[in-house]
Structure 1
Amino acid sequence: MVGTTAAYQDYINSKLNPVLEGLVVEVLLEHPDDPVTFMISRLCQRAGLPDPVAGALGQRSEAEDLKVEIALLKEQLKQLQLGQTSGGATTVAPHAESEESEEEHEDDTMEDDVDEEAVMSKFKSLNKMRCSVSAEVYGEWNKKKQFVAPVYEKTEEQKGRLENILRQSFLFRNLDEQDLATVINAMQEKKIEPDTTLITEGDDGECLYVVESGELECKKLIEGEQKTVKVVGPGDAFGELALLYNAPRAATVVSTAECDLWELGRDTFNAIVKDAATKRRAMYDTFLKSVHILDGMDAYERGKVADALRTEMFTDGAYIVRQGDPGDIFYIVEQGEAIATKSFGEDQAPIEVMKYKVGDYFGELALITGEPRAANVIASGTCKVACLDRKSFKRLMGSVQDILSKKASEYQKESS
């Protein structure tokens, strides 16, 4: 009985608590009117399963939309038939009455076929849209408009500074030149006075900010008291995670001095940055499923890893990491191969100790423990790797960090 109780406790600690604690935090942040429905939706999202609540509501709405669409199609078909009649002969010979009757029957059949084809086509397109993240349903009743980003005047020096700042963020560094230029042009200068509350914890996110000058404090309500958890200054960006994950603001941000900020609105962020992030998630999801160290992650956590990854290319013989260097990046081989070499003494030449192929990873221990690199890793032919740096890892991962730490501990036990 004692052994059974211990097994139950171990299961609760290792399996249930990580899920339930995160779920409770989300419920407390969101304060949903129907917590049961909210939790069902969140659990489905984390498991990568269809949301039955949103699905039921969406299907009901889609059915109503389809009825409207069918009515429109019928009306258009009648107008076409009337147009054809008025453009042809206005009298019908008596001997053609039976033919006309047959044609009317054929028209009715054709109309039914059009309705059925329209319904099937619409359902197929809606099902495809439902698979994408936060995709909006578009059709005759809801035309998708081409997004045109706003443009605010800036000097070339200001544009250069903004580019340098944004390129350091995991969200913006993977944008192509054109998209990044659009984002920079859409950023609006905002000057604020000291003691201005720019963001309030729990509010919806409508924009993100880049600090040009000044200083702001990030405060969280802890045990009933506002406590400063971070200070941001020139070159820092904040507010982007609430936009990316459609989450409430995680902290209140208050200026402690006069500040010159750059503001990027939700519309531009969604149209360019979030769209690019969604495509990256889809591209990397299957690949990340094949990486052994990440096999304990759900779809939501893999998505967060995909958001933070950047890609680097190395030519044959190039050093990806060097033995003894500080370790602050975790690597996954995307394409090609690499070899690990290690020197076991100051005067000893490095020898090959490991080969890496697609899906293999290295650098996770240095990322978690901060220890120097234990070996060299050298590209064998052209090698493409996905990289996760320490700053993004610490900021984004949360439970993902726990998973990697656990895997690293298992690896160290196996190696000892």
Structure 2
Amino acid sequence: MADEVKPISPLKNLLAGGFGGMCLVFVGHPLDTVKLPPDICSWDVVWSIHHRNYDPWRANQVLVTVPIPGRFDRRVSVCAETYNPDEEEEDTDPRVIHPKTDQQRCRLQEACKDILLFKNLDPEQLSQVLDAMFERTVKVDEHVIDQGDDGDNFYVIERGTYDILVTKDNQTRSVGQYDNHGSFGELALMYNTPRAATIVATSEGSLWGLDRVTFRRIIVKNNAKKRKMFESFIESVPLLKSLEVSERMKIVDVIGEKVYKDGERIITQGEKADSFYIIESGEVSILIKSKTKVNKDGENQEVEIARCHKGQYFGELALVTNKPRAASAYAVGDVKCLVMDVQAFERLLGPCMDIMKRNISHYEEQLVKMFGSSMDLIDPGQ
């Protein structure tokens, strides 16, 4: 069980649970085991996911070799070679460079700026990745990738909307959508699996692709180093202890690291939520605006309700409820956080969702019992 958030009052104890481990405040037992929606995956598919790293929520691909000129051709089954990113073999592969105009380069940089997979690259590595990426325009109803096919590329979305379709028992259904941002295809390049979903453009759009060779030479090897850095820390995070090792490693593969200075605001009450945070080092203060207390400028004053520390997390409440941020978070001293975007949160932390949702209801009931229906706190939606 996790170390409890140190509250400043009974109210803060409750709210601290909501922002730093709500399930730990209200649930006195380990988190549930991994379960996927039964209408999406039968137990034999769940077994495959668990043992073979299948991922029905994200389109996947395998490690295959393909000439760059044929990168859009449909692939048939190809045996993938093994690859050990820990081996420090001499890099003899020629650099892949797709020339770009200044305008294309700017568009590419904008599309990639929030891709967590690129966050831990040094400037030289990132430059090589951007050099190797190529632009692909798509039309409405175009299949970018198809479930079951082998693939060759990792994709970053510049613009356009895309349905994620999964076929099971000859029935196809949509399990999600990308809306003008995001990326797909990376897990198969890491785990050597066929594509687990079909991605279909529902509007005209533009993608940036990265070939397998460059991806594994830079991204996979860099992620192997990141794994060594974060493995022991991730294992110590109470929320993640109930997950299998392979599931925790998938989390390591998609998280990024962000550093915040003393007093810097990490999330803002009322804003749309796009990320989930685990504190790697330092201390974070959680504050909510008061209805009655105002500052010298006449604005609603923020009241501290909790402090979160190493190994604790925050930002999950808005992602679970699909509501604006319920509080703001500020760095107390220098802070390092591991950050997971909303797509990865929904895909990889699904096992925690039911518990979190149950606890939100319990959490609200407890607030009403303690303070009545009228609380001295600003609704985050206002």
Q: What TM-score, normalized by structure 1, do the two folds share?
A: 0.59
Say whether 1:220 aligns with 2:169. Answer: no
> 1: CA distance between counterparts of 2:84 and 2:351?
31
The runs of 5 or more residues in structure 2 that have no matched partner are: 1-31, 55-81, 295-300, 367-382
Say whether 1:377 aligns with 2:326. Answer: no
What corresponds to 1:150 in structure 2? Answer: 96
What corresponds to 2:246 in structure 1? Answer: 300
- What are the equivalent positions in structure 2 for 1:9-408 lying under 5 Å apart? 15=33, 24-25=44-45, 42=52, 135=84, 144-189=90-135, 198-210=144-156, 219-226=165-172, 237-253=183-199, 262-347=208-293, 349-394=301-346, 396-397=347-348, 400-407=349-356
Cα gap change, 1:316 to 1:411, in 2 (>3 Å): same
> 1: CA distance between counterparts of 2:116 and 2:262?
27
Q: Deviations over 1:326-378 (max 9, x none)?
A: 44432222222223344543326544432222222222222211344444432
> 2: CA distance between counterparts of 1:254 and 1:402?
27
What fraction of aligned residue pairs are identical, expressed as a percent?
A: 31
**Aligned-residue offset at 1:413:** 4.1
**Conserved 8 A contact 1:313-1:382:** yes
**Aligned-residue offset at 1:272:** 0.8
**Aligned-residue offset at 1:314:** 2.2
**Conserved 8 A contact 1:220-1:229:** yes
**Aligned-residue offset at 1:153:** 1.4
Q: Deviations over 1:82-140 (max 9, x none)?
A: xxxxxxxxxxxxxxxxxxxxxxxxxxxxxxxxxxxxxxxxxxxxxxxxxxx9527979x
**Aligned-residue offset at 1:166:** 2.0
Cα gap change, 1:231 to 1:362, in 2 (>3 Å): closer
Q: Secondary structure at the match of 1:203?
A: coil
**Aligned-residue offset at 1:178:** 1.6
Cα gap change, 1:379 to 1:146, in 2 (>3 Å): same
**Aligned-residue offset at 1:269:** 0.8
Q: Secondary structure at the match of 2:339?
A: strand
Q: Secondary structure at the match of 1:171?
A: helix
Question: Which one has a larger percent strand, Structure 1 or Structure 2?
Answer: 2
- Greater relative CO (CA pairs within 8 A, separation 6+): 2
250-259 or 307-316, which deviates more: 250-259
What corresponds to 2:66 in structure 1? Answer: none
Aligned residue type for 1:273: I
Q: Deviations over 1:188-224 (max 9, x none)?
A: 4556788765533112232123466787665432442
What corresponds to 1:108 in structure 2? Answer: none
Aligned residues: 299
> 2: CA distance between counterparts of 1:382 and 1:393?
25
The runs of 5 or more residues in structure 1 that have no matched partner are: 1-13, 30-38, 46-132
Q: Secondary structure at the match of 1:347?
A: strand
**Aligned-residue offset at 1:263:** 3.2
Aligned residue type for 2:292: E
Cα gap change, 1:407 to 1:272, in 2 (>3 Å): same
**Conserved 8 A contact 2:157-2:206:** yes
> 2: CA distance between counterparts of 1:384 and 1:193?
41
Aligned residue type for 1:204: D
Question: RMSD of the alignment, in Å?
Answer: 4.0
**Aligned-residue offset at 1:409:** 3.8
Q: Secondary structure at the match of 2:221?
A: helix
Aligned residue type for 1:25: V
> 1: CA distance between counterparts of 2:182 and 2:250?
21
> 1: CA distance between counterparts of 2:227 and 2:170?
37
Cα gap change, 1:155 to 1:346, in 2 (>3 Å): same
**Conserved 8 A contact 1:341-1:352:** yes
Cα gap change, 1:16 to 1:166, in 2 (>3 Å): closer
Q: What TM-score, normalized by structure 2, do the two folds share?
A: 0.63
Q: Secondary structure at the match of 1:346?
A: strand
Aligned residue type for 1:263: G
> 2: CA distance between counterparts of 1:293 and 1:191?
40
Cα gap change, 1:220 to 1:334, in 2 (>3 Å): closer
**Aligned-residue offset at 1:17:** 6.4
> 2: CA distance between counterparts of 1:407 and 1:216?
28
